[in-house]
């Protein structure tokens, strides 16, 4: 098993500074993400996005194509929300999920736009630029990281 922790805002669509993402842009990069995932069919997905606070797992899966939705196995736990700067929070939520589910030795990556949310495992982060999302450069890095894992027989 190989895991991909996926953020939505700033990854599957651009984020807009203090403004909601326009409806026509929401999930505009989803086809690109799904295309990469289809090339790596053993990768399972865990949603780490804040969207998990507003939608159930089934509602989140419904936004994806059926073949990719079937590979979304969970969301990270919903922790108490605190406004403000919380460094390493996303990384902590991922590490907690790995521990609680008995997957602490399972190889993983994260796709996220909040680099400051990661400290010890930045080498596992495929960072997006919040106002662009998964663009050509990010897709290339994601594919390279997954190919490297495959070459090392982690995938």
Higher model confidence: residue 84 or residue 1? 1
Angle at 36 between CA 34 and CA 37, to 5 degrees: 60
Residue 56: partners with Cβ closer than 8 Å, 6 or more residues away: none
Q: Judge whether 92 and 48 are in contact, CB under 8 Å.
A: no
Query: Residue 16: which H helix or E strand, with range?
Result: none
- Assigned fold of 2-151: Rossmann fold (3.40.50)
Is residue 79's pLDDT more than 60?
Answer: yes
Q: Which two tokens stand for residue 14?
A: 């651009």
Q: Judge whether 119 and 91 are in contact, CB under 8 Å.
A: yes
In the structure, what pLDDT confidence band is assigned to residue 70 with cuts at 50, 70 and 90? very high
């Amino acid at each position: 098993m190989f895991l991909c922790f996926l953020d939505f805002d700033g990854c599957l669509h651009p984020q807009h500074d203090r403004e909601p993402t326009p409806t026509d842009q929401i999930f505009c990069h989803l086809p690109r993400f799904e295309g990469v995932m289809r090339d790596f069919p053993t990768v399972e997905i865990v949603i780490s996005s804040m969207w998990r606070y507003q939608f159930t797992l089934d509602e989140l899966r419904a936004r994806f194509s059926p073949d990719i939705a079937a590979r979304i196995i969970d969301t990270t736990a919903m922790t108490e929300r605190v406004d403000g700067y919380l460094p390493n929070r996303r990384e902590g939520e991922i590490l907690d999920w790995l521990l609680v589910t008995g997957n602490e030795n399972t190889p993983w990556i994260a796709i996220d736009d909040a680099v400051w949310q990661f400290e010890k495992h930045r080498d596992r982060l495929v960072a997006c630029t919040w106002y662009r999302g998964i663009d050509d450069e990010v897709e290339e890095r994601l594919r390279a990281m997954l190919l490297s894992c495959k070459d090392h027989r982690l995938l």
